Amino acid sequence: MTRESLAHQNNGNTLAGIALLILGLFVFSVQDVIMKFFSDQMAVQEVIFARGIVTLALISAALFITQGPRGFTTKKPFLNCLRGFFSFICFSTFSMALAVLPLADAMPIYYTAPLFVVVFAGPFLGEIVGFRIWIAIVAGFIGVVLVAQPNADGIEPAMVLAIISAIAYSAQILLTRLLGSTDSALSMTFYLTLMFVLFSGLTGLAFGSGWMDQFDHPSAAYLFRAWSFPSMHQTLLFLALGLTGTVGFYCISQAYRYGQANQMAPFEYSSLPFAVLWGWMFWGSLPTVTTLLGSILIVGGGLFVVSLEIRNSSKKELA
C-alpha cells in the first residue's frame, strides 16, 4: 500500500470515527433525558441494572451472531473490568447530579475531563506540562467555578458528583484506547455492560431495601431510594435506555478504535448543544449568562489542551 493510499485510508477512518462519536453522544444525550426523568421516581441503581440487562441481551445477541463464541473472549480481562468500573462510576455520579442540575449546567462540568487528564499526567506518567497548558487548565477551572457558583454554604454536592464523573470518564477513554487494538467494539461493550449489571446489582443488594433513604438531598435520594416494581411506562423507558445504551456504547467504542484520542477529543463537546436543546424542550430551562461564560472557559481550555497535544504529536511523527 502506497503512502498516499494509506493516508487516504487513515483520513477515512478518522472521519468515520468522528461521525460515530457524534452519533453516540447524541444517543447518550437522549439517555440523559430519560435518567433525569427517573430521578424522582426510582432508585438510580435499579434503573442502571434494568438498563444493563436489556443492553447485555442485545449486545450478547449481536456479538454471537457476528463473531460466535470467540467474541466473548478477551486478552485483557482486567483492563475490560477496570474500564467497566470507571464507566459505572461515571454514569452513576452523572445521573445523580442530574437529579439537581439542569443538563446545560451538568454537561460543561462533565467536560473538564481533558483538563484532569493533563493534571494527572505529571505525577502519574511523568509528563511535563508547559506554561501555556497550565494557563488553559486554570481558565477551565475558573469556568467550573462560574458554572458551580459556590455560595456561603459551599458548592452544590451535585456539582461535585459531576466533577467525579468527569474524572472517571477520562480514565474510561484512556482504557478504551488501550483495548482498541485487541478487542472489538462489541466485545468491549459486552464487558462494560456486564460490569454495569454486576456493580448495580451489588449496590441493590446493599441499599435496595431503602434503609439508607434518610437524606433530603435529591441526589442522595436517587441513590438510596428503595427499589420498586416498575410500571408499564417505566418498563418501556427501561427498554429505551437499553437500546440507547447499546447504540451509544458501540458507537463510542468503535469511534476510538478508528481515530486517535487526540483527533476525537474536540468532537466530545458536540453534546453540549444537545444538552441545551433538551433542557429547553423538556424543562424550559436555559443556561444563565454566568453558566455560558463558564462553559466557554471550560470548552476553550479543553480545546486548547487538545490542540497542543495534536501539534506535539505531529512534531514527534515528523522528527
Segment 189-203, tens digit of pLDDT: 899 999 999 999 999
Gap between the Cα atoms of 201 and 135, Å rounded = 43
Residue 154 region, left (φ>0) first, then alpha (ψ -120 to 50), else beta? left
Are 254 and 65 spatial neighbours (Cβ–Cβ below 8 Å)? no
**Res 251: pLDDT:** 86
CA distances in angstroms from 12 to 36, 136, 255, 260, listed in the order given: 36, 31, 12, 13
Gap between the Cα atoms of 44 and 49, Å rounded = 9
**Res 2: pLDDT:** 52
Total H helices, total E strands in the chain: 13, 0
**Res 309: pLDDT:** 65
E strand or H helix at 265, and its extent? none
**Res 316: pLDDT:** 52
Which of 1-5, 71-75, 182-186, 293-297 has the highest mean predicted lDDT (pLDDT)? Answer: 293-297
**pLDDT for residue 176 is more than 50:** yes
Q: Which of 243, 258, 179, 249 is nearest to 24 (CA)?
A: 249
- Across all residues in the chain, what is the average pLDDT? 85
In this prediction, residue 6 has a pLDDT band, given cuts at 50, 70 and 90, of: very low
**Res 8: pLDDT:** 44
Residue-wise pLDDT for 154-163, tens only, equals 789 999 999 9
Q: What is the mean pLDDT of residues 29-53?
A: 95
Parse the chain into domains and list their residue ranges: 3-318
Residue-wise pLDDT for 45-65, tens only, equals 999 999 999 999 999 998 999
